[in-house]
Amino acid sequence: MSLLSIGTLAFDAIETPFGKTDKIVGGACTYIALAASYFVNESRVVSVVGGDFPKNRLSDLEKRGVNLEGLQIKENEKSFFWSGKYHTDMNTRDTLVTELNVLESFDPVIPESYKDDTTYLMLGNLAPVVQLQVLERLSNKPELVVLDTMNFWMDIAMADLKKVLKHVDVLTINDEEARQLSGEYSLVKAADVIREMGPTYLIIKKGEHGALLFHGTEVFCAPALPLAEVFDPTGAGDTFAGGFIGHIAKTKDHSFENMKRAIIFGSALASFTVEKFGTERLENLTIEEINSRVEKFVKLAHFNMDLAVI
Amino acid sequence: MSLLSIGTLAFDAIETPFGKTDKIVGGACTYIALAASYFVNESRVVSVVGGDFPKNRLSDLEKRGVNLEGLQIKENEKSFFWSGKYHTDMNTRDTLVTELNVLESFDPVIPESYKDDTTYLMLGNLAPVVQLQVLERLSNKPELVVLDTMNFWMDIAMADLKKVLKHVDVLTINDEEARQLSGEYSLVKAADVIREMGPTYLIIKKGEHGALLFHGTEVFCAPALPLAEVFDPTGAGDTFAGGFIGHIAKTKDHSFENMKRAIIFGSALASFTVEKFGTERLENLTIEEINSRVEKFVKLAHFNMDLAVI
């Protein structure tokens, strides 16, 4: 088993109704790798940072079993930077600043040792053309390819996105993105249209309303834990993706039933991420905390209709 | 066991992206009584209609075991009429016409035989002052009082609503209404504030995102069936309420576990109501259809984490 993730290691500056941060470490792949590290002892990353990215944060990742051989460090350039402000509902946000920096010319280099030995591939949120390059530069097709993307790429690179989707097994997007990608308002119809594009599994993330998994004629509706406070939603989707692929990679089981469990683990980890700014909460979880959070999801969704018929 | 429901028997004219109707029979209590009739052989109604309300629709209700002794028929007046137009998202609508007619002077009269023999009381959507009058005019406090209301009453009669809420066991409202009633954005915090107002159980209806049940420190997250088409959402909430109270009245079990089942039955029935205009789909369901729809909810929400720990 080997898990390869791509996505940004970057800086974020975040403002929420609860407060604001200076530049802090974020980026899709940071969250993915951290989340996955609770499931697998080793995973790999292909990404790029500038010389400004804190070396101690890289060695923290390495201590958690993240192999950074595929990380390009461009000492004379700056890391990707995003700044955003969340509205009161925490579901919508304004982007204040986007500085591509090292991403502008990112040409993903896959270490030789990764090329014929990538079983699970997590294509975190990046330009679809880069996601496709990574796929093309692997010698063997991975057993499972999961792709996360966002409305931004649908706005400016829909054709590229549709190209890479042909090679994807599992797509994770939110409900608005599912509508945009498919042109259908009903999520059931959207799921049909999107699965014609390539992915046989579609996960629709609905934030505080949980998630839906579509496959064949089956649907799974995952609950979301009602939270008294969502402090900072940044990285929740990436954490979800990392927990999802981490569980799949650990169990080597792509069945629908096991994907449900992977969704619950991803949701549980994401419910921690939103409790504090950035990666703070995700960095120091105990196994007991995670299992007890999973138990909350089980209780939350459980009902028994065995004896209840009309 | 005796179940008493109040609410309107009325006319609706509905426009959705799929089409529009002339005046058709609707009203909260129509949906409640129809939904409950799948669970109990007999139920009672306190309401008012004008001479224009079709007598054959009343005898249809009677054939389904609905006792109309508490229905006032004001032959020289007109029934309540509401007309509305749904937006593309089907979650929001504009009210085009509201004619109170018989509701303007509605003074609920409780038949003597109901007064000391009402075990379950469903206070469907009506002016809070009328809901309170019904409660006050019963000789015995029912075992369970369920109240449904809407933002309209929060806008114009919040003080009355808070008065009646003191006597209510279960409140059903949607998420926006929960926020308006409590002044809290987080539904967890909203649930705490609202339960200080009286109801020990709170059901937050989230339409296509399911429902939440709060009681003590427990929470249940009920799934919603993803539907390819929501044809007409009118009456879905009332159908939900009728199915909910119907199952409780049938089983005489107010436990949290059984309320979960009542929510699943209410959701299953509501998922039929939205398939056609008005009450059409709800009128002619078979037991097999309902049980098979419930089975879909079971499959939709089922996952098994027994062997899945990190």
Note the ipTM here: 0.93
Nearest CA in chain A to B219: A300
Tell me, yes or no, whether A309 lies in a domain: no
- At B212-247, the pLDDT tens digits run 999 999 999 999 999 998 889 999 999 999 999 999
User: Residue A17 has what pLDDT?
Assistant: 87
Q: CA-CA distance, B108 to A291, in Å (whole number)?
A: 53
CB contact B138 to A (< 8 Å): no
Q: Which band of pLDDT confidence, cut at 50, 70 and 90, is reported for residue A169?
A: very high
Q: Which residues, listed in sequence order, are joined to residue A16 by a DSSP beta bridge?
A: A19
Q: CA-CA distance, B43 to B40, in Å (whole number)?
A: 7
Q: CA-CA distance, B268 to B210, in Å (whole number)?
A: 11
Asked if residue A84 has pLDDT above 80, the reply is yes
Percent over 90 (pLDDT), chain B:
94
Tell me, yes or no, whether B130 lies in a domain: yes
Q: Which band of pLDDT confidence, cut at 50, 70 and 90, is reported for residue A39?
A: very high
Asked if residue A269 has pLDDT above 90, the reply is yes
User: Residue B18 has what pLDDT?
Assistant: 86
Chain A stretch 159-178, residues whose beta carbon is closer than 8 A to a beta carbon of chain B: none
Whichever domain contains A244, its CATH number is 3.40.1190.20
Q: Nearest Cβ partner of A221 from B261, B264, B301? A: B301
Tell me which amino acid residue A210 is. Answer: G
CB contact B292 to A (< 8 Å): no
The DSSP-derived string for chain A is --EEEE---EEEEEEETTEE-SSEEE-HHHHHHHHHTTT-S-EEEEEEEETTS-HHHHHHHHHTTEEEEEEEEETTS---EEEEEE-TTSS-EEEEEEE-GGGGG------HHHHT--SEEEE-SS-HHHHHHHHHH-SS--SEEEEE--HHHHHH-HHHHHHHHTT-SEEEEEHHHHHHHHS-SSHHHHHHHHHHTS-SEEEEE-GGG-EEEEETTEEEEE-----S-----TTHHHHHHHHHHHHHHHHT---HHHHHHHHHHHHHHHHHHTTSSTTHHHHT--HHHHHHHHHHHHHHH----TT---
pTM of the entire predicted model: 0.95
User: Residue B306 has what pLDDT?
Assistant: 87
Tell me, yes or no, whether A41 lies in a domain: yes
CB contact B287 to A (< 8 Å): yes
Tell me, yes or no, whether A306 lies in a domain: no
Q: Which band of pLDDT confidence, cut at 50, 70 and 90, is reported for residue A198?
A: very high
User: Residue A157 has what pLDDT?
Assistant: 97
- At B53-99, the pLDDT tens digits run 999 999 999 999 999 999 999 999 999 999 999 988 777 889 999 99
Domain of residue B85, residue span = 3-301
The two structure tokens encoding residue B118: 């009402």
Residues of B with Cβ-Cβ distance to A242 under 8 angstroms: none
Do A120 and A4 contact (CB within 8 A), yes or no? yes
Mutating which of A258, A282, A303 best tests the B interface, going by the most B Cβ atoms within 10 A? A303
- At B128-141, the pLDDT tens digits run 999 999 999 999 99
- At B150-187, the pLDDT tens digits run 999 999 999 999 999 999 999 999 999 999 999 999 99
User: Residue B308 has what pLDDT?
Assistant: 75
Asked if residue A194 has pLDDT above 90, the reply is yes
User: Residue B211 has what pLDDT?
Assistant: 98
Q: Which band of pLDDT confidence, cut at 50, 70 and 90, is reported for residue A63?
A: very high
Contact A228 B290 (CB under 8 A): no
User: Residue A307 has what pLDDT?
Assistant: 75
Asked if residue B310 has pLDDT above 90, the reply is no
Do B245 and B118 contact (CB within 8 A), yes or no? no
What is the average pLDDT value for chain A, to the nearest integer?
Answer: 96
Number of domains forming the structure of chain B = 1
- At A106-155, the pLDDT tens digits run 999 999 999 999 999 999 999 999 999 999 999 999 999 999 999 999 99
Q: What does the DSSP 8-state code read for residue B255?
A: -
Residues of A with Cβ-Cβ distance to B219 under 8 angstroms: 226, 300
Q: CA-CA distance, A185 to B221, in Å (whole number)?
A: 24
User: Residue A92 has what pLDDT?
Assistant: 83
Q: What are phi and psi of A301, to 5 degrees?
A: -100, -5
CB contact B264 to A (< 8 Å): yes
Nearest CA in chain A to B303: A260
Q: Nearest Cβ partner of A209 from B39, B209, B229? A: B209
Tell me, yes or no, whether B41 lies in a domain: yes
Closest of A235, A226, A242, A238 to residue A277, by C-alpha = A235
User: Residue A215 has what pLDDT?
Assistant: 98
Do B155 and B177 contact (CB within 8 A), yes or no? no
Burial of A53 (0-12, 13-18, 19+ CB in 10 A): buried
Closest of B254, B236, B257, B232 to residue B245, by C-alpha = B254
Helix (H) or strand (E) holding B250: helix B236-251
The two structure tokens encoding residue A104: 């502008």
Tell me, yes or no, whether A310 lies in a domain: no
- At A141-158, the pLDDT tens digits run 999 999 999 999 999 999
Tell me, yes or no, whether A14 lies in a domain: yes
Asked if residue A1 has pLDDT above 80, the reply is no
CB contact B215 to A (< 8 Å): no
Q: Could you tell me how many residues make up chain B?
A: 310
Contact B308 A247 (CB under 8 A): yes
What is the average pLDDT value for chain B, to the nearest integer?
Answer: 96
Residues of B with Cβ-Cβ distance to A224 under 8 angstroms: 221
User: Residue B307 has what pLDDT?
Assistant: 75
Contact B188 A39 (CB under 8 A): no
Asked if residue A243 has pLDDT above 90, the reply is yes
The two structure tokens encoding residue A61: 């990742």
Residue indicated by tokens 């591939």: A121
Tell me, yes or no, whether B291 lies in a domain: yes
